[in-house]
Amino acid sequence: MKNNFFKSKGSIVLLLAVAFATLSWGIVGHERINKAAILALPKPMLIFFYNHNDFITQEASVPDIRKYALKYKEENPRHYFDMENFGSLDSIPQNLTAANAKYDAKFLSNNGILPWYIEEMMGKLTQAFKDKNRAEILFLSADLGHYIADAHMPLHTSANHDGQLSDQKGIHSLWESKLPEMFSKNYQLNVPQAQYYENVHQAIWDMINDTHSLVAPLLEVDKKLRTATPENQVFKMDSEGKVLKSKYNSAVFSDEYAKQLHQQLNGMVENQMKKAITATSSFWYTAWVNAGKPDLSDLDAPELTKRNSKALKHDLKLFANGKLFGFKSQND
């Protein structure tokens, strides 16, 4: 199986520890999105995906490992789409082939290919379901969940990706990593069961446009709060009264500022996580339906399904009550 050398959560954490500080949604966010998305699947898919819950959950951060720790050049533009730099919506190419014909490689590397890459991955996942290729289904599903989660982070759809154009540097990792790490244990991350997308292409662009609509409100809230808050309360300070820097030389935000920003964003992070869960589960489901709804029950030994049945019932109950991550799961 691809990337099977990441056999343990410890390996993933170690690699991410030496990677670049700004990781999309952080480990916590990506893992929770993929895990909750599994539980939103209908029964014909749910049992198979839950049997591989650990893999799909832990592999959620692997694209960031490829990007930051392993430095795969082709990986970087898959995570974002600087929408403002592509012009009007009706002028944006419909697929990656057309995009490669219209723009040079440097432009696409700088500005991203996220929506087109998601659509390409949907095609690959659909084929994997048709082939009943167990390894490919799991690998592609885990990866796809990562990119869909990225597509729900507003600044992944903007050229002002870290507030660098508006004197708001650091907002990226603050929003998508620090806030989920501090507050997601209190989020109600139960969502309705996965839905079928009649038009995959349209569903992807609706998702991108919806996320991009949050860029201005997010930056406006942070700008007003930073302007009204003394610097020594926005950031953590060292013993000399200077802004504390991380080992990556970025300013470290104070927990109090993070708390205030989270409150003023009025549920934005939680809502985007819930949208990401719904979309991830729904894109998985759509690929399976488009593949002809293949029977997945024979891809695992009956003993595995039986062994996981109690934990599945337990997690489904927690999920339904919005408490999947508020309590330790039997399968954690």
105 vs 73: CA distance, rounded Å: 12
For range 43-55, the mean pLDDT: 97
82 neighbors 161 (Cβ within 8 angstroms)? yes
Tell the residue number behind the tokens 């723009």, with chain if given: 103
Indicate whether 15 pLDDT > 90: no
Whole-angstrom Cα distance, residue 33 to residue 61?
11
* Mean pLDDT for all residues in the chain: 91
pLDDT in tens, 214-268: 999 999 999 999 999 999 999 999 999 999 988 777 889 999 999 999 999 999 9
Q: What homologous superfamily is domain 20-183+193-300 in, according to CATH?
A: P1 Nuclease (1.10.575.10)
The pLDDT tens digits for 274-305 are: 999 999 999 999 999 999 999 999 999 999 99
311-326 pLDDT tens trace: 999 999 999 999 998 7
Rg (CA), the chain: 20
Is the pLDDT confidence value at 34 over 80? yes
Is residue 11 over pLDDT 60?
no
Q: What is the pLDDT of residues 127-173, one digit of tens each?
A: 999 999 999 999 999 999 999 999 999 999 999 999 999 999 999 99
Q: Measured between alpha carbons, how far is residue 70 from residues 16, 73, 124 in Å?
A: 10, 9, 23
Q: Is 17's pLDDT higher than 60?
A: no
pLDDT digits (tens, 9 = 90+) for 158-212: 999 999 999 999 999 999 999 999 999 899 999 999 999 999 999 999 999 999 9
